[in-house]
Structure 1
């Protein structure tokens, strides 16, 4: 009966435009007025959070600056239509050729923009600006656009790289600095193509992809949702909400004890929660999670961190990324619903504390991408990420 009620509730909300969604946002409790740490039950020790301050930012910025123009080693992920399609990474991807693979280069650029926005006086600020200006030129983005328009590139980076491209576009569009607006305009043709790719692909996807790596559908929808909301793209927002509900609204009892997989950097269960937290209003989300993963509401809920045995192994080091992505889901829940999920903030802190000391100075197998995950998780811990 509760499931039927939830479905009708969501359908009713989805069919109403504008005012209803604003009321939902207005009624959502803000983390600004509640001490989340104070909600921890007696006897439960809170792990000290890692704080993203200018000192940490100065360290973290070294990672994207070191890899954005590092062309080799490189994993192209290319389908060749003919021998003429072969080229060096910088020829195929004038903007995003570094950092081992395309998507890592994209979120390395996001890291630079994000850190510079938060810390305008960061030590290497001029180098960051020069790097972004050179890399995200209109000419370079045209080269990226040309690659996506190749016959064999329709599924290139679907949807993980697409999601990070939109996260970069969102970061640039919401940056008031003239450089941000210039680079957002340069990126816009590729941004529009990625949006169109989503709009064409999502209706054809009959079943969500529930894995702990790149093709996870819930992750791809969550970052796309953030972009659509930030830019008030209602058409895009509507299709994301609809497909998320189509895919996940009837889900029950997520088998979280099966996690993590050995190569996971995303949690299939938590990624699903992350998108449903965005698309469902408060009452509907509470009913949904009671069926999907009710143990999260218990004050004594625990989840062991993902343990990394070898950080020189590009797949095994994924588990550091899993710790950060789990943390940002926990922080998101604690920030938006502190009365129900405030206890998860301590668990998020534990996950970050395990992996954060290994980010800077780590082997290139992790260093080319893990910084982005750490930055995003730390932003969520401080409630600095808008959704």
Structure 2
């Protein structure tokens, strides 16, 4: 699916408006002493914007992706200039040092880790710039963190928020397929260990503040890790009544009652992430229904505007990217 130029500009303008906006900000920060009481910009000189670290990371993924897709749009030069000022060796060294702190073991795990790998994957497509090489040490750190984490995590986390295991592994796998064969194999083995026996999913969703579909997120991951015939058999057992549009909850866009509430606004993201999954799972009708419900609300209130364009872009792009 092509991202129209007007849509690309709209998303780019939104992301440019928040990746370098420091406040308001919600930190994921463990403090060991008074010396750790620092501003977002001091702690994270690259990813201090967008309300929180992970949203800033995927805001940058949005910007670099749009620069590649629409290099002729006026915002492309602004993206390039800001990226040159942001992705410097000195600033990324601070980000890496923070991630290596003993107190940062659970920092942004696993959602932020996965998006950082995804950002690095996109940066490699901009070969005329040094962004990818500068981001590589941070990406490698989180790749190794994933290996340690997956070795220790006995059970998957199925909630439809930042802790969701399937979503993080879907993004991380796309990076690992290119950059880390051992991590890619571990992700595939882990996904099969966790999900291969799942049958007759009831899809009790959405939860009141979810932005990911536990059911469709799992199905999307399994589509990435299983051969086509095996996935068809697994999917038929996982959602056996899909030909009757059941469970009905998966086909019905979520209602968002208050977009100024950051948690309730998550439900616009749920509609977009479902659209992404439905497209790859071959149900364009369901995908379009969810897109229609959410696309008009990507911007408007900062509680959604600081992150929703990334999920809209996931839903609009042809998948998976090479």
**Given the two structures, how large is their TM-score scaled by the length of structure 1?**
0.80
Match of 2:171 in 1: 223
Paired residues for 1:216-255 under 5 Å: 216-231=164-179, 233-255=180-202
8 Å contact from structure 1 (residues 328, 376) kept in 2: yes
Matched, 1:132 2:83: yes
Runs of 5+ consecutive residues of structure 1 not aligned to the other structure: 1-49, 335-343
Counterpart selection for 1:371 from 305, 309, 318: 309
Among 276, 279, 291, the residue aligned to 1:328? 276
Q: Does 1:386 align with 2:314?
A: no
- 1:82 alignment partner, one of 33, 40, 45: 33
Instruction: Report the alpha carbon displacement of residue 327 of structure 1 after superposing the two structures with TM.
Output: 0.5
SS for the counterpart of 2:156 is coil
- Which residue of 281, 296, 306 corresponds with 1:357? 296
Q: Distance in 1 between matches of 2:147 and 2:263?
A: 31
Distance 1:304 1:281 in 2: 29
Alignment of 1:111-122 (within 5 A): 111-122=62-73
| 1:278 matched residue in structure 2 | 224
Count of paired positions: 320
**Secondary structure of 1:294's match?**
coil
- The aligned counterpart of 2:51 is 100
Residue in 2 aligned with 1:53?
4
Report the 3-state secondary structure (helix = DSSP H, G, I; strand = E; otherwise coil) of the residue aligned with 1:152.
Answer: helix
Name 1:33's counterpart in structure 2: none
**Gapped regions of structure 2 (runs ≥ 5):** none
What's the offset of the Cα at 1:299? Answer: 6.8
Q: Distance in 1 between matches of 2:288 and 2:120?
A: 28
Q: Distance in 2 between matches of 1:148 and 1:308?
A: 35
The Cα offsets for residues 179-228 of structure 1, whole Å up to 9 and x where unpaired, read as 2xx00001011000000000111011000001010000001110011101
Matched, 1:265 2:204: no
Give the distance between the partners of 2:201 and 2:125, measured in 1 at CA: 35
Query: How big is the shift at 1:51?
Result: 5.6
Q: Does 1:205 align with 2:205?
A: no
Query: What SS is found at the alignment partner of 1:260?
Result: coil
Residue 174 of structure 1, CA deviation: 2.6
User: Out of 225, 250, 260, which is 1:312 matched to?
Assistant: 260
TM-score by length of 2: 0.96
CA RMSD after TM alignment: 1.4
Q: Does residue 101 of structure 2 align to residue 150 of structure 1?
A: yes
